[in-house]
Structure 1
Amino acid sequence: MNCLLHLSDPHFGTEQPTVARALAALVEAERPLAAVLSGDITQRATRGQFALARAFIDRLALPQLLVVPGNHDIPLIALATRALAPYARYRRAFGKELQPVVDAPDVLLVGVNTTRRWRHVNGAVSEAQAARVAQRLAGGRPGQLKIVVVHQPVAVTRQEDRKNLLIGREQAVRAWARAGADLVLGGHIHLPFVLPLHEVFDALDRRMWCVQAGTALSTRLRADAPNSVNLIRFGGVADPGSPRRCVVEQWDFSARNDAFRCVRTHEPELDRNE
């Protein structure tokens, strides 16, 4: 099966070198075809923190990369930069495109910039963004695993995390379901889980899953969740109408072993190809 690495919220500036080495070892062993980084790359959006993040990603030497910014990737204290050029430092490190797309034979990844310079924590998706993503998904090839990447979550498991939900999520999720999305990847709350969005939102057009990643490298752990990343495995392009498989593996860092270990496996049921 093919493999994607989904990591989020490394918060460079608070990264742990031992955990970073363990993640590099996991990547070397598994050799994913792409890495998906769903925001909060840095702690305070400084030039030095972005340089550390870029150097680490370059050392992983993965064939493809999709990155979207998180709320921590806009300068907080440098007010003039936040107001006039909020993404300048991000773009120097990861390129000009804030909403990238990776279109591979077996997978279509569509990024969404859910940050807003006037919002410190909360994120939003506009009608125009939702429509753009839906149009790109609808133009995908039969058999592709179709994935949307955001920063703030479209669904949560704990009442206390509801304040972190993505503004505009319901309209967006419904549009993306109609367009054929299978997964929505996110981060922000440093808590890994997989949820069926077709049970969270009534009458979605298809089965669709929320896949959240914990913090990959940071000391900023929450809810007793250790550092973690996801590996998403999926099959090659199948014949139209045939079943598709996707497996989401949660890999947690073990301080005892100084290594990431697979601790949980989900196999989301996907709709058939159209």
Structure 2
Amino acid sequence: MAYRILHVSDLHTGPPFRQTVADTLVAQAHTIKPDLVVVSGDFVQRADFVAQWRAACALREALPQPQLVVPGNHDVPLFHLHLRLFNPLGRYRRYVTTELNPVFELPGLVVVGANTAHGLTSDGGRLSRTQRANLRRILARYGPEVYKVVVWHHPVANLPGARKDRVMRGAASAMQVLDEHRVGLLLTGHLHAGYVGHTRTMMPHLEHGTIICQSGTTMSGRGHGHEKGQNSCNLITIDEQFIQISQLLYQAEVQQFVPVAEYRFLRI
């Protein structure tokens, strides 16, 4: 049986949020009818402003269920220092979800979320010791017959040709955890540009390796790099033999997200 995951990221419900693009994505998502919608962080542009959280809450309610979501660094207040240090994800918990380690299951598939955004994190994230322990504990429940997908916000790989290192702190140890538990696919965001790759490109000694699927910003005008000013998301199909990733880019001329690249990996 094939499952489909719609992977969106970096919604940033604050200037320069693109409402027309958001409306299109919501309509297409209901047409696609995915088995799961994944949001890999950054619901708001500035977590200090309640109006942006209300908009993010409305947007989440408009998207199809079921959903699995994780926070990003923009979901942590920037200007409210007390909140940033002592309750960094308080507003995320209030307006989005209280669950920071979400788990979604279907027969033969599990999707697990983790948090890489913390109060002292302004840009680059990290998978804390507690988060690594939680992830290990959850993944250990599932045998090799279950295809494992992990979701967090920050990237473990730079974009091809990047001049600046933007990977999360402790990326190597995080990739090692994925490999130890035979995680087949990692979904991330943060860089505002889509990318598909593999952990064995950076760490060839890994026994299994993990497919990396990064989404650009799906609804903000802050696309970077090869997606400068653009919006993207991913539609992923998982069946018994293959993992297929279709990168979708918003085209204003037709007011639709359309496929621009496809990747196919043998399921191992």
When normalised by structure 2's length, the TM-score is 0.93
1:54 deviation in Å?
Answer: 1.4
Contact 1:19 1:217 in 2 (8 A): yes
Contact 2:88 2:118 in 1 (8 A): no
1:248 counterpart SS class: strand
1:41 deviation in Å?
Answer: 0.9
Quick one: distance in 2 between partners of 1:185 and 1:24?
20
Q: Deviations over 1:204-225 (max 9, x none)?
A: 1213111100000001111141
1:159 deviation in Å?
Answer: 4.9
Sequence identity (%): 33
- Which of these residues, 232, 257, 261, is aligned with residue 236 of structure 2? 232
Tell me the equivalent position of 2:57.
Answer: 54
Contact 1:150 1:186 in 2 (8 A): yes
2:233 counterpart SS class: strand
Contact 2:126 2:168 in 1 (8 A): yes
When normalised by structure 1's length, the TM-score is 0.91
Alignment of 1:241-256 (within 5 A): 244-256=241-253
Q: Show structure 2 runs of 5+ residues with no match.
A: none
- Which of these residues, 32, 42, 45, is aligned with residue 44 of structure 2? 42
Tell me the equivalent position of 2:132.
Answer: 130
Alignment of 1:73-152 (within 5 A): 73-152=75-154
Q: 1:122 to 1:269 in 2, by over 3 A?
A: same
Quick one: distance in 1 between partners of 2:60 and 2:107?
23
Q: Deviations over 1:56-115 (max 9, x none)?
A: 1211232x2111111100111122221222111101112211221112223211111101
Partner AA of 2:61 in structure 1: D
2:183 counterpart SS class: coil
Quick one: distance in 1 between partners of 2:131 and 2:163?
24
Partner AA of 2:50 in structure 1: R
Contact 2:182 2:209 in 1 (8 A): no
Quick one: distance in 2 between partners of 1:124 and 1:257?
39
Quick one: distance in 1 between partners of 2:217 and 2:163?
15
Q: Does 1:258 align with 2:255?
A: yes
Quick one: distance in 2 between partners of 1:144 and 1:57?
28
Partner AA of 2:84 in structure 1: R
Partner AA of 1:254 in structure 2: Q
Q: Comparing 67-76 with 92-101, which one deviates more in the overlay?
A: 92-101
Number of corresponding residues: 263
1:199 deviation in Å?
Answer: 2.3
1:52 deviation in Å?
Answer: 0.8
Q: Comparing 252-261 with 43-52, which one deviates more in the overlay?
A: 43-52
Contact 2:158 2:165 in 1 (8 A): no
Alignment of 1:122-271 (within 5 A): 122-160=124-162, 162-225=164-227, 226-235=230-239, 238=240, 244-271=241-268
1:161 deviation in Å?
Answer: 6.0
Q: Show structure 1 runs of 5+ residues with no match.
A: 239-243
